[in-house]
Structure 1
């Protein structure tokens, strides 16, 4: 028995079997859907589910509010689409409610929330419950004013939603604009608290831009933000529902790379949101900005420019696709969280989204960011990138970026080296709809107080408190150049090629285990 136990421990340490790795893959998700337009030809929200496991996944989906439950099998290499009851899961108004969706799986899955209403579509990458936090600042958009729908003219609200994960949670909200919630009026900056139980939800709406609103909670919660409908870069032209699930502040970073969206020629909008006072933000070709907690800076970046963004405190960076009439392109608005480079992954499983307006003409795309010297090791669906791939160097960094067109469906991107990380952003267009989200991300608590810990391969923990995770191989070499050796291990050992390391590990185990 002792020998078997020791063998399992060795294998666990060397292979990096860690069920609690902090990233967007998980076995439990609790989410909801912000309010979209309620048009005559309503379309139900959907879940898109994929799995990185070759054997597939057994998934259970529940609406706790009405005890509805369904079970399904998710097949590797395919996107499983699940249509939801709109009345049961869509938040409406500025009130508390019980419109959560509970998703569980026997193995890790990737989940997207998709709300493809006609001419008002977006999607978000869902975050599992094990990476949620207790402090958030949200990003929305400038409110669309004087919009006319079904003979009624109104200012379309910005909005954010909160989902309870644990019973007995107190959520405190400090809105950046005056709001009315559950019939009570609150001034900008006036804190108010709401009690949430597990699976309870709330939405805050107002006809002003709620960007910078702060949400704290006594226990972890899920937070989404955006606008019911927004135009970007112009008050005229087509608009869209915009939404993302927001990562907690303790996972925010201090270094980012911006990449333009393909098809656009009129540039992209970026918002930088600060969580701490005296946050100094530097951006290529821009003057340094100093932001206090909850303040934001907006950048209009030309479509031929790649920017480097750095800060002295953790920030959130969000990219917005502009209205297609800006540059006469078949595009539309969406919002997309841009992960910091320290939260890039080494491999991704991701999916495209179906759009409604013209199912014969959608285009799907990815943006990739990687170290300039590591481009050759990238693999898309197991194959090297196309020979005509055009790379652009990011000024002031050793990173390069590219835009690729992809087919509809599920895809994988990975790098041959388990310590070479890659940024991936997935999006698509069809006039007048769009979607966009990060292809995935690590959610290490790199902005939290840090204490050094023993390295466990691929634990998504900053073991050496240098703001990076899993950047070393167990090879006796200082891979990240910080003067330390084997101090924060990736899911590998012995070699720097993930297709070779298992053989090496098996040999090491034979040498270590009596």
Structure 2
């Protein structure tokens, strides 16, 4: 199977010309300034003479990427970026904070490409397949894993706007509290609240509670990009170490009733499958782990 064959059922495939990417907080408080702290993009052009631009239109930091690359078919580009472009600033070990950020990375090309993101620290790494703007939707449900150590770990998700005046609406269920956004107060469920964003802004929400099944949407149908996971967690909980989890999730209009699960190459590791369904947090669970 080639990268151009990757399909997102119901809305298209994973190839495109424009992407909005957020690298979630990846925090290790028990290891100060670990080496190998960086984020990376892997970009696979599908044609020759592909021109790729990588920018952060709303972020003005000294570490902002402003790159133009040329690629060709059958040659994957590895693009290292400064680690401060992830939501949490480099070397910061602050935990328990939600935030509005302008650290949305735009990847734009003149021809179709496939993009993969790696959020890497020496002791905690995960990656995700990026979804192009043309397959984004207006409704998502978070996927996380319950934090093993609430003092150090958080569930989290991020919603990134691709147009001005985008209001991200979050349904917080009963018994769940969200970490405060910037200097505001903690948000306690049950409640529904909205966050207003302009293009290339994002809101990252963190919580010590399992956020699996939390609904995030726009009332006017405005599409946005959605990323979900954990700062760090254990899966299964019997394992000795914790790792960052990150995924860009497809919208609900791309959901289906059957899936393929790719096994890990190591047979000594358990296969874990996480299941949920809309508006039913109790349906979340691990299968075969």
**Please, what TM-score do these two structures have when normalized by structure 1?**
0.48
Distance 1:108 1:124 in 2: 18
The correspondence of residues 170-181 of structure 1 with structure 2, limited to 5 A, is: 170-176=167-173, 177-181=176-180
Secondary structure class of the residue paired with 1:156: coil
Paired residue for 1:122? 126
The offset of 1:103, in angstroms, is 0.9
**Matching of residue 185 in structure 1 with residue 186 in structure 2:** yes
Please say if residues 162 and 223 of structure 1, whose CA atoms lie closer than 8 Å, have aligned partners that are also in contact: yes
The correspondence of residues 430-449 of structure 1 with structure 2, limited to 5 A, is: none
Paired residue for 2:84? 87
Distance 2:88 2:49 in 1: 31
Secondary structure class of the residue paired with 1:233: coil
The offset of 1:91, in angstroms, is 4.2
Cα distance change of structure 1 residues 257 and 179 upon mapping to structure 2, 3 Å threshold: same
**Matching of residue 158 in structure 1 with residue 151 in structure 2:** no
Structure 2 unaligned regions, length at least 5: 1-10, 90-96
Secondary structure class of the residue paired with 2:213: coil
The offset of 1:25, in angstroms, is 0.4
Secondary structure class of the residue paired with 2:235: coil
Write the deviation string for residues 5-32 of structure 1: whole angstroms up to 9, x where unpaired.
xxxxxxxxxxxxxxxx821100000111
The match for 2:43 among 22, 46, 49 is 49
The offset of 1:234, in angstroms, is 2.0
Paired residue for 2:52? 59
Structure 1 unaligned regions, length at least 5: 1-20, 147-153, 276-291, 302-321, 323-514
Structure number with higher helix proportion: 1
Paired residue for 1:337? none
**Please, what TM-score do these two structures have when normalized by structure 2?**
0.83
Secondary structure class of the residue paired with 1:250: helix
The correspondence of residues 138-149 of structure 1 with structure 2, limited to 5 A, is: 138-145=142-149
Secondary structure class of the residue paired with 1:41: coil
Paired residue for 1:297? 284
Distance 2:267 2:148 in 1: 21
Write the deviation string for residues 403-439 of structure 1: whole angstroms up to 9, x where unpaired.
xxxxxxxxxxxxxxxxxxxxxxxxxxxxxxxxxxxxx
Please say if residues 269 and 298 of structure 1, whose CA atoms lie closer than 8 Å, have aligned partners that are also in contact: no
Please say if residues 165 and 220 of structure 1, whose CA atoms lie closer than 8 Å, have aligned partners that are also in contact: yes
**Matching of residue 244 in structure 1 with residue 247 in structure 2:** yes
The offset of 1:265, in angstroms, is 3.5
Please say if residues 212 and 284 of structure 2, whose CA atoms lie closer than 8 Å, have aligned partners that are also in contact: no
Distance 1:90 1:81 in 2: 21
The correspondence of residues 498-513 of structure 1 with structure 2, limited to 5 A, is: none
The offset of 1:239, in angstroms, is 1.9
Moved more, 257-266 or 93-102: 257-266
The offset of 1:229, in angstroms, is 0.8
Aligned residue pairs total 258
**Matching of residue 202 in structure 1 with residue 206 in structure 2:** no
Distance 2:262 2:38 in 1: 32
Distance 1:44 1:248 in 2: 28
Paired residue for 1:106? 110
Please say if residues 128 and 246 of structure 2, whose CA atoms lie closer than 8 Å, have aligned partners that are also in contact: yes
Secondary structure class of the residue paired with 2:276: strand
The offset of 1:262, in angstroms, is 2.6
Secondary structure class of the residue paired with 2:34: coil
Secondary structure class of the residue paired with 1:87: helix
Secondary structure class of the residue paired with 2:85: helix
The correspondence of residues 373-412 of structure 1 with structure 2, limited to 5 A, is: none
Moved more, 108-117 or 39-48: 39-48
The offset of 1:144, in angstroms, is 1.9
Cα distance change of structure 1 residues 74 and 90 upon mapping to structure 2, 3 Å threshold: farther
Cα distance change of structure 1 residues 158 and 264 upon mapping to structure 2, 3 Å threshold: farther
Please say if residues 95 and 202 of structure 1, whose CA atoms lie closer than 8 Å, have aligned partners that are also in contact: yes
Cα distance change of structure 1 residues 77 and 248 upon mapping to structure 2, 3 Å threshold: same
Secondary structure class of the residue paired with 2:258: strand
Which structure has the greater CA radius of gyration? 1
The correspondence of residues 416-427 of structure 1 with structure 2, limited to 5 A, is: none
Distance 1:180 1:119 in 2: 25
Distance 2:41 2:260 in 1: 29
Q: Which runs of 4+ in 1 moved over 3 A?
A: 257-260, 292-295
Q: Which has the higher contact order (CA 8 A, sep 6+)?
A: 2
Distance 1:188 1:261 in 2: 37
Distance 1:163 1:266 in 2: 34
**Matching of residue 271 in structure 1 with residue 246 in structure 2:** no
Distance 1:47 1:258 in 2: 24
